């Protein structure tokens, strides 16, 4: 008699244990899925707002995208090609390089601007005559390559470095180079500056004293200079940096630079 009731009882207990185990398994799986979802940033019951995941290993493309400068769209511009013998220096004093050097009208661009022309990057290192029909040109090594490019209408973007505006900012100046040779300074018995000091590279600079007085310390591209000299051709917002040799002065060329008072 006892066996008759014992079998159903044991069967019922086993079934209950099975159901309880199945339920616990599903609860554990759901909790794991919720935790995985939370890691993706969809929020929790305590914080229902979406949280962006932290990328501890950003891709190289993402890092490059963040470091890219911001470009301004200038529109569809006419772009021409030009070439030289490769020995003539650009307006900025650099040797032109195919795939890098571009020339621009200084009423639109400034020396040192980065431009995107149909997706290719160039640097404005030369100038275009303001009377030219096009305001932008691309340099090629040979006349044949320049003729092959011809003249096209291209999508053009520009990036210009902005100055650090503040009380120390003096403005944007045209900067050239000079030395103590007779070509730069004429025939002199004593190679002294207007301040009667011996000029030194990476130190002496010439300025218009009505704009920046003699003795003023200024900073250009992180280098500190002292205004110790003047020049007949140095008028208004123009500066002349001293170099030890005429070759270095010529190589520096002509650049547009942001100038700051030294703190």
pLDDT tens sequence across 119-143 = 899 999 999 998 999 999 999 999 9
| Domain 169-261 falls under CATH 2.60.34.10 | no
CA 182, distance to chain mean position in Å, is 38
Task: Answer yes or no: same fold for 65-159 and 169-261.
Answer: yes
Domain chopping of the chain, boundaries: 65-159, 169-261
Tokens of 240: 């002349």
Using the predicted structure, report yes or no on whether residue 184 has a pLDDT greater than 50.
yes
Question: 117: part of which helix (H) or strand (E)?
Answer: strand 114-117
> Which of the four pLDDT bands, split at 50, 70 and 90, describes residue 12?
low
Secondary structure (3-state) at 33 = helix
pTM of the model: 0.59
Question: Which runs of consecutive H residues, i.e. helices, occur in 40-155?
Answer: 60-67, 143-149
> Which of the four pLDDT bands, split at 50, 70 and 90, describes residue 28?
low
Contact in structure between 93 and 254 (CB atoms under 8 Å): yes
For domain 65-159, the CATH architecture is: Beta Barrel (2.40)
């Amino acid at each position: 008699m006892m066996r008759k009731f014992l079998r159903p009882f044991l069967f019922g207990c086993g079934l209950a244990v099975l159901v309880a185990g199945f339920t616990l398994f599903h609860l554990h799986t759901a909790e794991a899925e919720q935790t995985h979802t939370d890691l993706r940033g969809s929020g929790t019951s305590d914080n229902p707002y979406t949280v962006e995941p932290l990328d501890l290993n950003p891709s190289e493309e993402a890092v490059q995208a963040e470091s890219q400068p911001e470009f301004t769209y200038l529109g569809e511009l006419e772009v021409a090609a030009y070439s030289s013998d490769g020995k003539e220096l650009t307006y900025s004093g650099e040797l032109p390089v195919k795939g890098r050097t571009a020339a621009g009208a200084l009423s639109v661009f400034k020396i040192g601007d980065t431009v995107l022309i149909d997706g290719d990057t160039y640097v404005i290192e030369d100038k275009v005559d303001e009377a030219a029909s096009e305001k932008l040109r691309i340099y090629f090594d040979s006349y044949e390559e320049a003729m092959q490019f011809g003249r096209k209408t291209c999508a053009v973007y520009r990036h210009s470095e902005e100055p650090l505006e503040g009380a120390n900012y003096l403005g944007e100046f045209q900067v050239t180079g000079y030395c103590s040779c007779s070509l730069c300074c004429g025939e002199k018995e004593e190679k002294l500056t207007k301040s009667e000091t011996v000029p030194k590279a990476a130190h002496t600079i010439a300025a218009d004293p009505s704009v920046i007085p003699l003795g003023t310390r200024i900073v250009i591209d992180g280098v500190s200079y002292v205004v110790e000299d003047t020049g007949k051709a140095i008028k208004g917002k123009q500066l002349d940096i001293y170099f030890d040799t005429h070759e270095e002065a010529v190589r520096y060329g002509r650049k547009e630079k942001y100038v700051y008072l030294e703190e």
